[in-house]
Amino acid sequence: MLLLKDARNVEDYLAQGGFKALRKALEFGQDEIIKEVETSGLLGRGGAAFPTGLKMKFVRKERKTPKYIVANADEGEPGTFKDRVLMERNPYQILEGMIISAYAIGAKKGFFYIRYEYKEIAKDIERKIEELRRLGILGPSIYGSKFSFDIEVVLGAGAYVCGEETALMESIEGKRGFPRIKPPYPAQYGLWGKPTLINNVETLANIPVVMSMGGANYSRLGKEGCSGPKLFSVSGFVKNPGVYEANLGEKTIGEMIELTGGVEGEFKGLMIGGGAAGFILNEEYLDMPLCFKDAKERGLFLGTGDIIVFNESVNIWDILLNIAKFFEHESCGQCFPCRYGTKRMREIIEKIVRGEGRKEDIEKLNATARAMKIASLCPLGASAMLAYESAMKNFREELMGVIQ
């Protein structure tokens, strides 16, 4: 395992070759590190799958200072828990990736933003940061080099939208977590208006892997153009739910479910793409390789890499109502299409679940979904209907069966 190692304390991490990648990186030029990451083909693991090297390059070339780096551990998608497990089992690799990235872009200060539900982990990360300061791996002149860097832990307070990068930055600045209009992107205008690199914690944990084996070798892990190890959160009706690691493109969805011991009960369907902001799929998708590219070819996203398995006991309208309630509650209220659209979707679906759904309701749902997709300010509103739309495609008969 390259990510899911068991290295909960610093002695274990060092014994497993920890911080060697950082020492190697400190001998590299900053642009050389970014070049390695670009060559590796590493794509962001937080959901958007943006090329990590390119993002680093954007921040690196900005003239404004200071520059900041942010680790995004605001893992809020239902069915997604891989960041939590990674922080519990291999936290130093995330911190090492953060230090290397900070050095590469020229940041002296970093923020580690963790959701409130993980406050015990936040305390642990804080202790580990203090420990690394004592060891000279954080703070002034790291490993005796000219590079100084420190990290501040920020605990969220229960807002799903703060996983969106610009909302997260507003939150760090001590404001409401309202997403900003992009562009400008965080690389130009991030924390306090300064160039900021923001990466998911799993993305950061991949950086030491890239540095250790070299970008070219990393790019050969898994599939061409979709490389490297990825964590998958598998939950729902499977025998052994948990976090599993596989190289991208190496396993199909069906094989991943088998790896967890198979389905509990009779397979009905599944969700991928990041919990609520995901797709409801049927058995036709079981042979899809778990890879960003394969998902894209089918009009899907792999998102955070979660798989929620449904058996015969699951009712699809019931799932859609749960998701609609989720989005209604989590809409930040800043833009109208999302604020009103999520409420309307919940009301209509509730009516259908009560057994009072009519054809016009489906038309209204479709119109609402379209409007939200076109006009929402941030990905929250634009993704709220993905589950509904995909379910309509893959479980049409069941869904329309209750409509008068």
Partner 1 sequence: MDGKVLEIIEKHRNDDSKLLAILHDVQNEFGYIPEDAIKTIAKELGMKKGEVYDAASFYSFFKFEPEGKHEVMICDCIVCHIKGSERIIERIEKEFGVKMGETTKDGKFTFKVVEGLGHCESSPVMMLDGKIYGDLTPEKAMEILRGCE
Interacting residues toward partner 1 by CB under 8 A:
75-81, 84, 109, 111, 115-120, 152, 154-160, 171-177, 233, 235-237, 241-243, 271, 275-276, 308, 310, 313-314, 318-319, 322-323, 325-326, 329-330, 332
Cα separation, 160 vs 269, whole angstroms: 26
**CB nearer to partner 1: pick between 117 and 347:** 117
The CB-of-275 to partner 1 minimum distance in angstroms stands at 6
The CB-of-235 to partner 1 minimum distance in angstroms stands at 4
The CB-of-220 to partner 1 minimum distance in angstroms stands at 31
β 109-114/222-223 pair status? unpaired
**CB nearer to partner 1: pick between 175 and 396:** 175
**CB nearer to partner 1: pick between 79 and 289:** 79
CA angle 269/273/276 to nearest 5° reads 80
DSSP for 41-84 reads: T-B-TTTT--BHHHHHHHHHT---S--EEEEEE---STT--HHH
Helices 91-105 and 201-213 cross at an angle (nearest 10°) of 80
Cα separation, 261 vs 269, whole angstroms: 16
**CB nearer to partner 1: pick between 153 and 221:** 153
The CB-of-173 to partner 1 minimum distance in angstroms stands at 7
The CB-of-329 to partner 1 minimum distance in angstroms stands at 7
Residue type, 361: D
**CB nearer to partner 1: pick between 123 and 370:** 123
The CB-of-159 to partner 1 minimum distance in angstroms stands at 5
Cα separation, 40 vs 15, whole angstroms: 25
Of 336, 346, 404, residue with least CA distance to 374:
336
**CB nearer to partner 1: pick between 258 and 264:** 264
